[in-house]
Amino acid sequence: MSATGIAILASATEALEAAKRLAPGLSRRAAHYDHRGEFPAEDFAELREAGLLGLFVPQRLGGLGACYADYVAVALELGRAAGPTALIFNMHASMTGALASTPDALVRALGGSDQALRARDRLLTAALNGSLFAVAMSERGTGARLSELNTTYAREGDAFVLRGAKSFVSGAGHVDGYLVAARAQERNEPVVSYFFVPAGDGVRVEASWDSLGMRATASHDVAFDVHLPADALLGGVEGLALLLAQVMPQWLVASYAAVYVGVATAALEEAARQATTRGLGRLPALRARLGRADAEVAAARLCVLEAARAVDAAPGTPETNRAVWRAKLMAGDVAAAVASSMLEAIGASASRRGNPLERLYRDARCGALQPATSDVCADYLGLAALGADPNAGADEPRW
């Protein structure tokens, strides 16, 4: 336990055990937060105290130094317990994971300075001490197409001015800071960079999130009008966003795949529970639905675990990146299909508000919609199957 009352995780096993220990509480509160469309504050108080916000912080800074597969194991558990909580956690993890896993040598080779590396370490240390971060990339109309962002930044002396409006910012208003993607003003070609913007002056949250599923993610709109110091530019290099999307797709494309496999697992388990309670297990058609769902969830899980193994063993290779895109496609499609089938298996009573399957169905529906959407993942994999370069071969830019 640190002086801040936050547990210090000594191993990946401890992190997974913490997630398993907290899961019943998350699961118990999920209906309440969904019903009210509220940020799951108690869940995050517990995740913070358990030390899970520092999962990716390297050992040299006093953290656990988790690998990608360690994160996936935790996210599968959290997603099974409470999808929205796992999704907000995923945004924090994708930012801290990307910061922690980009080698210093690569940052320097791209032109990053010692000042940028020190700024990165300060953010990771803050996460270890319980700070929670959000990702503010998407915009209304533009979605996650980085090259078309309307949020811009400009240099002002050795500082930056950043202005724009973001949408779908999970955790908005409840986090300590935002990773904001912005386009360089007055440049013809899209130069898209990441900035760290602390919550506070110049950051205005508009409580706009009222959605079909993942209602408890507080994914509100956020307007930014801020002056930032030079070291707010992450990596210390402009133009990193589009490059990272291609070479480290696990953070942008697939880190939430584990969340949605968790949600699909919960839908299957909940349907089996309700079928047992209601004596529906005697129906062959219902058993077949459960059986198919079991196989589909297991296949999606294996896909996600295989992608995680590949990311840790050989990050950025074409094979690894295909595994990453495959995992996102499988997770999004399987979650939606399994939750829909489980709702139908149990029948109309499962569609009533208050039935856990109704909530899981709505949450599961969101996986395929998050970028890269299932259609976009399938296009990437289709191009690769045709022997084309899946990054360069698409007619429409993906980012």
Ligand X SMILES: Cc1cc2nc3c(=O)[nH]c(=O)nc-3n(C[C@H](O)[C@H](O)[C@H](O)COP(=O)(O)OP(=O)(O)OC[C@H]3O[C@@H](n4cnc5c(N)ncnc54)[C@H](O)[C@@H]3O)c2cc1C
Which of 151, 217, 255, 355 binds ligand X (CB under 6 A)? It is 217
CA–CA distance, 243 with 275 (Å, rounded to integer) = 48
Q: How far is CA 54 from the centre of its chain?
A: 15
Choose which of 199, 216, 275, 366 interacts with ligand X (CB under 6 A).
366
Q: In angstroms, rounded to a whole number, what is the distance separating the alpha carbons of residues 150 and 192? A: 11
Q: Considering the complex, what minimum distance in angstroms separates the CB of residue 235 from ligand X?
A: 18
Span 44-103, contacts to ligand X by CB under 6 A: 87, 91
124 binds ligand X, rule: CB under 6 A = no
Stretch near ligand X under the rule CB under 6 A, chosen from 22-30, 114-122, 130-138, 259-267: 130-138
Q: Is 114 in the site for ligand X (CB under 6 A)?
A: no
Stretch that binds ligand X, among 42-50, 58-66, 277-285, 363-371 (CB under 6 A): 363-371
Q: Does 376 bind ligand X (CB under 6 A)?
A: yes
Does position 389 interact with ligand X (CB under 6 A)? The reply is no
Q: If binding is defined by CB under 6 A, does position 169 make contact with ligand X? A: yes
In this complex, which beta carbon is closest to ligand X, that of residue 181 or of residue 345?
181
Closest separation in Å from C-beta 107 to ligand X: 23
Looking up tokens 């940020």 gives 39
Q: Distance (Å, rounded) from C-alpha 267 to C-alpha 359?
A: 9
* Contacts (Cβ under 8 Å, ≥6 apart) of 216: 30, 33, 34, 36, 37, 38, 39, 40, 82, 84, 85
Nearest Cα neighbor of 337 from 280, 268, 288 is: 268
* 144 near ligand X (CB under 6 A): yes
**Residue 220 bridge partners (DSSP):** 169
CA 327 to chain centre: 13
Nearer Cβ to ligand X (65/390) = 390
Identify which range of 27-35, 119-127, 214-222, 310-318 contacts ligand X by CB under 6 A. 214-222
Task: Point out which span in 291-299, 302-310, 375-383, 384-392 binds ligand X (CB under 6 A).
Answer: 375-383
Name which position in 375, 382, 388, 389 contacts ligand X (CB under 6 A). 375
CB nearer ligand X, residue 87 or residue 128: 87
Q: Which residues pair with 197 in a beta bridge?
A: 178
Q: Which is nearer to ligand X, 213 or 356 (CB)?
A: 213
Task: Kindly indicate which of the ranges 63-71, 266-274, 331-339, 370-378 contains the residues binding ligand X, using the contact rule CB under 6 A.
Answer: 370-378
Q: Is 244 in the site for ligand X (CB under 6 A)?
A: no
The CB-of-66 to ligand X minimum distance in angstroms stands at 21
135 is a site residue for ligand X (CB under 6 A) = yes
**384-to-228, 250, 379 alpha-carbon distances in Å:** 40, 17, 9
For ligand X, give the closer residue by CB, 158 or 396: 396
Going from the C-alpha of 53 to that of each of 41, 113, 175, 264, 398, the distances in angstroms are 14, 26, 12, 24, 30
Span of 72-80, 95-103, 165-173, 262-270 interacting with ligand X by CB under 6 A: 165-173
Instruction: Provide, rounded to whole angstroms, the least separation between the CB of residue 331 and ligand X.
Output: 14
Site residues (vs ligand X, CB under 6 A): 87, 91, 134-138, 143-144, 168-170, 214, 217, 219, 366, 369-371, 373, 375-376, 379, 396, 398
